[in-house]
Amino acid sequence: MIEIRDLYKTFDTGGKEDVVQALNGISLDINESQVFGLIGTNGSGKSTMMRIAAGIYRPDSGSVSIDGREAFDNLEAKKNVFFIADEPYYHTNATPELMKNYYSDIYENFDKQRFDRLLDDFNLKLNRRIATFSKGMKKQLAVIIGVCAGTKYLMMDETFDGLDPVMRQAVKSLFANDMETRGLTPIIASHNLRELEDICENIGLLHKGGVLMSQNIEDIKLGIQKIQCVFANDGDEQKILSGVDVMLNEKRGKLHTLTIRGRREDVMAHFNGFEMTFFEMLPLTLEEAFISETEVVGYDVKKLIAG
């Protein structure tokens, strides 16, 4: 388990007034053997938090522990973590074979044979200079190195950026396999919530260096319902809606699109007690759920989530 407690980090960019508050008291738990997603725009603190959790940066204050061990300057903790940056770094003139040998010296469980197999599966050449790879190919290689390192936690910053749809599915399949066979915990940071929706069990939403929300995806969806309806009588709206927790009420003529907090069966039971000209429950996307939750507390989360 990764435990993040009251984490602060600033960066001095030069002048007296050029101090950037990257993290502002983040607290978060990441449980084992699940896919955890970090969502937020550039500058929200995702990359900084992951680098601290991987033991790369030292926090100004607060702590990160990996299975009970402090993350920074701790070799035992770092053995369990592999971090893939948004722009993976490779040695000058390096080839995949060179990187394989380099990382196998660092990670004792690095699987060289699997690395060669995956490289062939992804149609990447063992002795081709990485500098000649496309952005997507470099990302594929980074993921292959990450899963072959054999660590318990794999942290990835914008992993799917630059990958085509086929490669995205291939990478997701790799994660699923390692989660089942050896208990891998992938932690994926992205600015695109839709990319994470189908693979993440829990999502943390970061904004301006803080955690706006951290919840199980299914709990979010089960607790919010989306409805389209037309009231039988114009005067019924206030009476009917006063009995439920309406988070959002969008009107287009007589058609109402409602976002309501509550369990599906409870919301259905409430509306079944009234005469309606039209009533339909609609599937709720994770993006819609996040927008509804955050707008209630005064955040315009539509600006934080890419379409």
| 302: pLDDT strictly greater than 80 | no
**Residue 307 binned pLDDT confidence (cut-offs 50, 70, 90):** very low
Q: What confidence score (pLDDT) does residue 174 get?
A: 92
pLDDT over 80 at 67, yes or no = yes
Q: Which tokens hold the place of 48? A: 């900084």
pLDDT of residue 295: 65
Segment 33-46, tens digit of pLDDT:
889 999 877 778 88
Q: Are strands 2-12 and 61-66 parallel, antiparallel or unpaired?
A: antiparallel
Specify the pLDDT at position 191. 77
The pLDDT tens digits of the residues spanning 94-131 come to 999 999 999 999 999 999 999 999 999 999 999 999 99
Rounded to whole angstroms, how far apart are CA atoms 53 and 69? 11
Amino acid at 140: Q
**pLDDT tens digits, residue range 76-100?**
888 999 999 988 889 889 999 999 9
> What would the mean pLDDT of 158-187 be, rounded to a whole number?
89
Give the pLDDT of residue 43. Answer: 78
Banded model confidence at residue 301, pLDDT cuts 50, 70, 90: low
Confidence of residue 21 (pLDDT cuts 50, 70, 90): confident
Per-residue pLDDT at 59: 92
**Whether residue 55 has pLDDT greater than 60:** yes
For strands 202-207 and 36-39, give the pairing. parallel
Q: Three-state SS for 62?
A: strand
How high is the pLDDT of residue 304?
53
268's CB contacts (< 8 A; 6+ apart) are 281
Report the C-alpha gap between 58 and 51 in whole angstroms: 9
Q: Which residues does residue 207 pair with via DSSP β-bridges, in sequence order? A: 210
Domains detected in the chain: 2-216 (3.40.50.300), 223-303 (3.30.70)
Is a pLDDT exceeding 70 seen at residue 15? no
pLDDT at position 40, please? Answer: 77
Q: Report pLDDT for 256.
A: 94
- For residue range 189-210, list pLDDT tens digits in order: 987 777 787 788 898 888 778 8
Over the stretch 264-287, which tens digit does the pLDDT of each residue have? Answer: 999 999 999 899 999 999 988 777
Q: Is the pLDDT of residue 163 over 80?
A: yes
- Examine the pLDDT at 298 and tell me if it is beyond 60: no
Nearest Cα residue to 214 out of 2, 67, 60, 37: 37
**Could you give the strand order of the β-sheet that contains 19-30, starting from the edge strand earlier in sequence?**
19-30, 2-12, 61-66, 69-70
Model confidence band, residue 63 (pLDDT cutoffs 50, 70, 90): very high
To the nearest whole number, what is the mean pLDDT of the chain? 88
Q: What pLDDT is stored for residue 16 in this prediction?
A: 60
